Structures are given as structure tokens and as C-alpha cells.
Amino acid sequence: MRIAFLTAPEGVEEIELTEPWKAVVEAGWNPQLVSTKAGQVRAYRHLEKAGRFTVDHVLAGDTAEAFDALVLPGGVANPDALRMNSRAVGFVRSFFDAGKPVAAICHAAWMLVEADVVRGRTLTSWPSVATDVRNAGGTWVDEEVRVCHAAPATLVTSRKPADLDAFCRATVKEFGAT
């Protein structure tokens, strides 16, 4: 399986990228770092600069067609930048249109709100995003991990880095079920 990890050029929370990436690799799948610019993305540990990671694929009108599933890592800056990019928003929406599974952690739920795919779904996120989820027609819950099987696509969400073990387990389970 080919799994897209969508990040902005700067601002992704490092552990929210690296731990799901490792889980995907351990499942025997092929993760691909997708961004809006070529080169490398800068990760952070909260507000401190962390590692750099090489972009495998640059968005240019892409859809879910080339991938089997999507992971949206968080960090405050990452989804805040991505939701201002129409290509990134369209890319996220295309996974739901195609009925392909999506996993989002922490502030990444902002991308789901921007892509207008939360209406009628139950999900979790970083608590400050709860009002945005509700205003977009979703139901927000304060849970370690939430799997929503509402048609057309399965959605796995988690609140924060402390939830990564549960998030990674649920992501691998749900992605493997497709």
C-alpha cells in the first residue's frame, strides 16, 4: 500500500510524522512524504526546530488516485498553512470522495474542517479545534482515538502526541481493512 503523509514545508510536529510513518513501514507499506514544495520539510518538537525530512511528492493538482490512504500529522503551523493551500485542501477532499481511509492527529483536524468532510462524523482532535469541528457539522469527542466509519471513507483521529500508540494501532488496523 502507498500511504501519503501530507505536510507543509514547515511546522509539522515531528513525532506526529515519525511515529505513524514507522507504524506504516512496520506494516510493510510504502509511506510517501507529500508537500506543497520540493526539497525538505522542517519538523518541530512543539516550538523548537527538529529534523528535516525529504519530500517524495510535490502536490500539483493531485488526487487520491496515486495513493491508498492518507495520514495528516499535526502541529499547529502545519495544518494552519496547508488549509490556506487549495491544492492541499483538494487533495484531502479527494480521499473522502474516493472512499479511501484518512488518519489525522492533533491540529490536523483543521484540514478536515477546511476540506468540508466532517459534517455528520464523530472525531477527536486537539481540544482547541473542537469548536471548529462542531461549527463544520461534526461531533467532537474527548477520546484517545476515534474511528468513524461514516460513508464514504473511514476516518481515524487522535488528540495529541500522548495518544500516538493508540492512533498508530488504529491507523494500521483501519488502513489494512481496506
Give the domain CATH number at 151: 3.40.50.880
Contact 136, 121 (CB under 8 A): no
User: pLDDT at residue 13 above 80?
Assistant: yes
User: In 3-state terms, what secondary structure has residue 121?
Assistant: coil
User: pLDDT at residue 178 above 80?
Assistant: no
CA atoms of 132 and 104, how far apart (whole Å): 15
- Number of structural domains (the chain) is 1
Kindly indicate the confidence band of residue 27, based on its pLDDT and cuts at 50, 70 and 90: very high
How confident is the model at residue 28, as a pLDDT? 98
Per-residue pLDDT tens over the stretch 48-67:
999 999 999 999 888 899 99
Active-site residues, by number, are 106-107
Q: Which domain holds residue 23?
A: 2-176
**Average pLDDT of the chain, as a whole number:** 97
Per-residue pLDDT tens over the stretch 124-152:
999 999 999 999 999 999 999 999 999 99
To the nearest whole percent, how much of the chain has pLDDT over 70?
100
Contact 174, 100 (CB under 8 A): no
**Rounded mean pLDDT of 70-75?**
97
How confident is the model at residue 62, as a pLDDT? 84
Contact 99, 63 (CB under 8 A): no
